[in-house]
Structure 1
């Protein structure tokens, strides 16, 4: 018989809930106490270990992993705010699930399941006493390093996302406060995204539409070929022609200009609807004369 001692009654209930929904429950009998369980194998030639070990791995991943990462956030990196913790842990889960696989500094091998299994295999789970708290304190250093790695990378991603959102908001505020230099522009996605009104404009003509002071204030973030002129022009309407709505620059334009942007399929673009930059400049010079 194996006695498993849990940290509290909630963990005991969580372990029982997992056991009830796994096939292993039919192969063992369980006696429940407030913070402990007594487990015996039912007519199993292999004994209790191959039944309990995967159940414990599942328990640590499902019931204790978030708790441990939250502890790392609070105690090591001093993120106390629950909403910030939630956002960082959401990023961490995306990384662990493989949804974000282009992030440097991530170690996925061996898997977390393998790390837990490796440590559990060093302990007899056939009989005696197994303490969840002691196991986590003294046996999971490698597993904890993996979780700390996920947390560190997730914090960096979170900070970058916050910085990006602040940047986008500053561009929104600038656009909202600015008088439009052109009422409408067309952004067309061919080999790259470009403002079609500038297609035949000289570099000198293009510079007349760019707020160089604003670009100097955002040198690391602003794209001089597309975002800088778009934000400087601050058009009331942008017709955006693309077949790749998930493109990062397409999403950035939509985030900045929001309801001013209307997206169309690339094949629907017609150049004869476009009035080019030099036409606007010629009309402006005629008015001045």
Structure 2
């Protein structure tokens, strides 16, 4: 017989749920009996299906740890060790964390690869062969330590990414505030993405770099703690156009995304080839 003891009734119920799902989806074992009280799960089985029952318990514990326990552990760590007391902040960090673990954040530096399923399978194989009856909290503290240490790399990366996103949002809001109430030096600006962004006004007339440098409001680049790009963003903000037209073949690049966030509905993006005054563009 296998027995797993918990300190919290909620966790015992969660493991029971994973055991039930595992049995119904992949592993039907004849003669098995699952018993539970508030905080203990017991699995009785005939001796001849010992290995099958062992695999059932391993699979269920892996699901329980990855889908339930890991989330609670991250939540607790964020609140008690990193002092993120707001639930919304923790939620945003966990969203980033999951996207990192699922490989959706290619821009983040390479992290040590972790195959959670394989690592937990190895830990559980060794542990359950020695301990058919155990307290989950002790197992978590002593045997899952390597697993959680690996996950810490991902949590740290998620926190760093969250901080950068917060700084970026503050940067965008600062530039939007700077734009408010400014008089437009030109109603329409055309940005052509060719060897950097080239500035044009109506009629395809180019604005030279020397002209743009004179237009820049010095308060924008000297009075703010966040660095403002002096080649594209600073002159464009200083001009404060009512309409911005961007021509590019790379619509997802960081500069275009940032300009969209700053100018919002004032900005429209077109393919590079659609700019009507190609003869004025420097290639």
Q: Report the TM range for the smaller structure's normalisation.
A: 0.7 to 0.9
Match of 1:259 in 2: 265
Aligned with residue 38 of structure 1, among 39, 42, 55: 42
Does structure 2 conserve the Cα–Cα contact (< 8 Å) formed by 1:41 and 1:47? no
Pair 1:247-2:242 in alignment: no
Pair 1:148-2:152 in alignment: yes
How far the C-alpha of 1:148 sits from its partner, in A, is: 2.1
Match of 1:217 in 2: 223
Aligned pair in 2 of structure 1 residues 140, 13: CA closer, same or farther (>3 Å)?
A: same
Q: C-alpha distance in 2, partners of 1:199/1:46?
A: 79
Pair 1:124-2:128 in alignment: yes
How far the C-alpha of 1:101 sits from its partner, in A, is: 3.1
Q: CA RMSD in A?
A: 2.6
Q: C-alpha distance in 1, partners of 2:147/2:130?
A: 23
Deviations 1:208-265 (A, max 9, x none): 2211331223476322221111111110101122343322111100100111112223
Give the aligned length.
274
Q: Which moved more, 1:217-226 or 1:151-160?
A: 217-226
Deviations 1:131-156 (A, max 9, x none): 21111112122112122222222111
Aligned with residue 55 of structure 1, among 60, 73, 81: 60
Q: Which moved more, 1:18-27 or 1:29-38?
A: 18-27
Q: C-alpha distance in 2, partners of 1:16/1:243?
A: 54
Q: C-alpha distance in 2, partners of 1:45/1:84?
A: 45
Aligned pair in 2 of structure 1 residues 125, 13: CA closer, same or farther (>3 Å)?
A: farther
How far the C-alpha of 1:65 sits from its partner, in A, is: 0.4
Q: C-alpha distance in 1, partners of 2:111/2:125?
A: 26
How far the C-alpha of 1:13 sits from its partner, in A, is: 2.3
Does structure 1 conserve the Cα–Cα contact (< 8 Å) formed by 2:5 and 2:40? yes
Deviations 1:36-60 (A, max 9, x none): 2111346536342222112211110
Does structure 2 conserve the Cα–Cα contact (< 8 Å) formed by 1:69 and 1:148? no
Aligned pair in 2 of structure 1 residues 205, 127: CA closer, same or farther (>3 Å)?
A: closer
Pair 1:134-2:118 in alignment: no
Deviations 1:89-140 (A, max 9, x none): 111111111111332362224x222332232122135873122111111212
Give the structure-2-normalised TM-score: 0.86
Q: Which moved more, 1:130-139 or 1:6-15?
A: 6-15
Aligned with residue 81 of structure 1, among 79, 82, 86: 86
Q: C-alpha distance in 2, partners of 1:239/1:200?
A: 14
Does structure 1 conserve the Cα–Cα contact (< 8 Å) formed by 2:19 and 2:56? no
Does structure 2 conserve the Cα–Cα contact (< 8 Å) formed by 1:30 and 1:39? yes
Unaligned runs of 5+ in 1: 277-289
Q: C-alpha distance in 2, partners of 1:204/1:221?
A: 21
Give the structure-1-normalised TM-score: 0.84
Aligned pair in 2 of structure 1 residues 219, 205: CA closer, same or farther (>3 Å)?
A: farther
Pair 1:235-2:241 in alignment: yes
